[in-house]
Amino acid sequence: MRLIDRYLLRQIPLPFVVGLGVFVCIMLAEVAWRISGALVGSGISARTLAKFFAYSTPRAAVWSAPVGILVAVSMAMTNLERRGEVTAMRAGGVSLARIQLSWIVVGFLVAGVAMWSNQTIVPKTTQRSYELFTQMTYQAPVVKEAWDQLFRSPSGDLYYVRRMNAAQSKLEGVCIWRLDRKGVVRQITVAKTARVEGKQWVLHQGYVRDFNATGRPTGGPRVFTRLSIDMWAAIQEYYSDRRTPYEMSISELSQLARMLEAGGRDAHQLLVHLQFKYSIPCAAAVFALVAGPLAHRYARLGTFAGLTIAIAVLFLYNGLRSWTLALGLAGTLSPVVAGWAPNVAFAAVGLVLLARQR
């Protein structure tokens, strides 16, 4: 690595950390504002709340990494220009494009790290943060409205629920098939409703029927008015398979989209989220490309010109991203166009500005 590269790279870490940290705090403050109404008077411990925000931080950091690069490159170029160092480098035969090359490489490296985190770390921590929020608000997962749900517990038993009644926090029309190791049904439990009472699930108004190893019934049905059972593992397994796109890795989203398409179902919205999984981290490289030329052009306006440019670019980019996301989810734009249009537009602006530098 040449001396000039080492010098240019030393301009990046501090503004990058500041930009990253500030934007992470902004995103976490937004999260705190959104959940505050649900937590008022709930008596949540400081430790639980700290764990929730700790698990929310990786996703905020991935979204903030491009902002860190944007602030770092804008401030670095502004400072070098105002100290006359850019003029000195150019007098020594170093072009403006060459000065910015080191920062653009850093932008690509940050984009790679952010994409890796989006694939390996963020899905797990985001899911854990959602689980903690559910615990903090004392909401059982059955309150999510759904009809005709069939799922399997970790032990292999099959569960069918005709309706998950969100308004009354209960299950309606429950049927449970308990299987042996060979997959033979050994017991069927049918209940009109199921509710959480204390730490147990209680079935109401139903019956149990047993079967032998050949699948034939043994004895008559045993009627019950109340029956306590362990359904927590099955319900948790059910909801773990119904995570939001933000809780899924890139490979999981891709696999789910392929399965939906193979089954003849519409996977358009999932594919839109998948493209944004790629494009958001890559914005770090795009911002490195566009921030340098803009900061160089307007550095004469003052010390805070770089910061002003960073805020303006972020505002415009986020506005365009919001529009393409909305149009993509609505089906107006294809997933690729929706996910990558902001990056392509801003990269084009950066390349034009870079080519026009004197």
Domain assignment of residue 160, yes or no: yes
Dist CA 175 CA 161 (whole Å): 7
* Domain C-terminal end among 230, 256, 284: 230
In a domain, 261, yes or no: no
Identify the CA nearest to 98 among candidates 90, 107, 108, 109. 90
pLDDT single digits (tens) 274-296: 999 899 999 999 999 999 888 88
Distance CA 188, CA 129 (A): 36
The reply to whether 47 and 11 lie within a common domain is yes
The enclosing H or E element of 322 equals helix 305-329
**Structure-block tokens of residue 174:** 């429950």
Among the listed residues 276, 242, 281, 252, the one whose alpha carbon sits nearest the alpha carbon of residue 130? 242
- Helix 305-329 to helix 268-298 angle (10° resolution) is 160
User: Would you tell me how many other CB atoms lie within 10 Å of the CB of residue 54?
Assistant: 14
pLDDT for 104-158, tens place per residue? 999 999 999 999 998 888 888 887 887 777 666 554 444 467 777 877 777 778 8
Structure confidence by residue, pLDDT tens digits, 8-40: 899 999 999 999 999 999 999 988 887 776 565
- The answer to whether the predicted template modeling score (pTM) of the entire model surpasses 0.85 is no
For residue 46, being part of any structural domain is answered with yes
Number of domains in the chain: 2
* Residue 282 within a domain: yes
The answer to whether residues 186 and 284 belong to one domain is no
Q: Which of 74-88, 110-124, 250-264, 327-341 has the lowest mean pLDDT?
A: 250-264
Mark whether 10 and 127 lie in a shared domain: yes
Phi-psi region of 202 (alpha: psi -120 to 50; beta: other; left: phi over 0): beta
Residues 276 and 130 in one domain: yes
Q: Which residues span the domain enclosing 222?
A: 154-230
Q: Which of 230, 255, 280 is the last residue of a domain?
A: 230
Here the tokens at position 168 are 């009354």
Does residue 246 register a pLDDT over 70? no
Mean local confidence (pLDDT), 179-188:
87
Are 126 and 226 in the same domain?
no
Instruction: Kindly tell me if the per-residue pLDDT of 233 is higher than 70.
Output: no
